[in-house]
Amino acid sequence: MLKINNLFNEFQKNRDIILNNKVYMSIVIYLVILFIIDYSGCINLYGQNIIRRCINMYRRLDPLNYKNKLKPFCKKYDKILDENDIIQLQSIKIPEIQDIGTKTRKNTTTHECCKQYSKTDIKIIKGITEKIRQKYEKKIQKKLYYIKTREATIYRYYGNNSHHLWHVDPQNLTEIYNIIICIQKKGKISPLQCKDKEGAAYSIHFEEGDAALFNGGTTVHQVPPNDDPNSERTVLSLAFTSDKKLSQKNDSKNMCVYIEGGNNYVNIFKIVVLVFSLNWILTKISGTNRLSYKYIFVFLIINLLISKYIPSNCDIGLGTGRASSISHNFVILFGFIATTISIKGGMLLFSYFLISDVFFSRKWVAYN
């Protein structure tokens, strides 16, 4: 161990000599090593860099990012389930542990099928899911297919402070149909709110058994707070697709699936450890800790401006083809700074992903 420490100290001395009066080269070293790691796929999740997936998940809240993908569709259907269906679904035990709350989503519990479901619960979910699929096929006059990587999920919202604010779902595709069914209602619960093509919001109020069919990836929607501190809103969420090829793809898995809506604390901890460790190693090797805050901040601001204005004004055939707003990017930046426990590291690590969003191959970084 002592020998390794001596070797690393010698490496740092030689690196500092090389970087003397060329401090900008430490940024180049940091970014090049990160590029190699990124390109190797060694930190991929479901075929995409896990950190990029985290960023893209938050971008679902950024109107500038998804504005060209919107094709709103959101419709209510009364009493899609009968009383027997509702009783069966209410018999499924929901875990008491709540999801990790954020500013835009809190006081919720996510119970995804089928890891923690009993055999009886699985039978209930599978049977009702098939029943719903057949009903909606008739209503929309389209064949609906199960999505290979999507499972039925029960969500519970607790009290007047529970909410899931304006967003679009992963995969901005009109071929994906989301269904929300109210299976239990206590007190005055929140509605589902959707925005039409003019951006005007309208509400869908639920009684037990009522449902909403919508394209979650192309319709801006939310569950707002309500006025009842004792309210409890339990819904079953399903997703189907009208595209047979899409139903068999493995790319429908996303960050929400991995962290189970914020309920998988272990996987969230893994991401935090990965981001912290990655930046710590890159900083030690590159020597970016020697740079001034001003130097790195200017570099970051340039990238923030590029990520907003180039995709907004021209399609260069590279990157995601999506612009991102500076205000939303600052929120992501603070997340990086908190996770790396380093202002410099957070700014540099995020700058890399801003650059990749604009200048890397579209086949590599683009997403639906």
Per-residue pLDDT of the chain (368 residues; tens, 9 = 90+): 556 666 666 666 666 666 666 767 889 999 999 999 999 999 999 889 999 999 998 999 999 999 889 999 999 999 999 999 999 999 999 888 888 888 899 999 998 888 888 999 999 999 999 999 999 999 999 999 998 878 899 999 999 999 999 999 988 899 999 999 999 999 999 999 999 999 999 999 999 999 999 999 999 999 999 999 999 999 999 999 999 888 877 665 678 778 877 778 899 999 999 999 999 999 988 888 888 899 899 999 999 999 999 999 988 999 999 999 999 999 999 999 999 999 999 999 999 999 999 999 999 998 87
For the chain, the domain total comes to 2
Whether 206 contacts 173, CB under 8 Å? no
Domain boundary among 200, 222, 252: 252
For residue 245, give its domain range: 70-252
CB neighbour burial string for 176-208, b if at least 16 within 10 angstroms, e if fewer: bbbbbbbbbbeeebbbbbbbeeeeeeeebebeb
- 59 assigned to some structural domain: no
- 16 assigned to some structural domain: no
- 51 assigned to some structural domain: no
- 15 assigned to some structural domain: no
Does 238 share its domain with 306? no
Does 98 share its domain with 226? yes
**Nearest residue to 109 via CA among 75, 159, 73, 36:** 159
Does 204 share its domain with 340? no
Domain boundary among 221, 252, 283: 252
Domain boundary among 252, 286, 305: 252
Does 184 share its domain with 308? no
Indicate whether this model's pTM tops 0.75: yes
Does 203 share its domain with 324? no
CB neighbour burial string for 20-39, b if at least 16 within 10 angstroms, e if fewer: eeeeeebbebbbeebeeebe
Residue 314, class by beta-carbon neighbours within 10 Å (0-12 exposed, 13-18 middle, 19+ buried)? exposed
Tokens of 351: 């700058």
Does 295 share its domain with 226? no
Does 269 share its domain with 245? no
Does 179 share its domain with 317? no
3-state secondary structure (DSSP) of residue 110? strand
Does 273 share its domain with 214? no
- 258 assigned to some structural domain: no
CA distance 253 to 243: 16
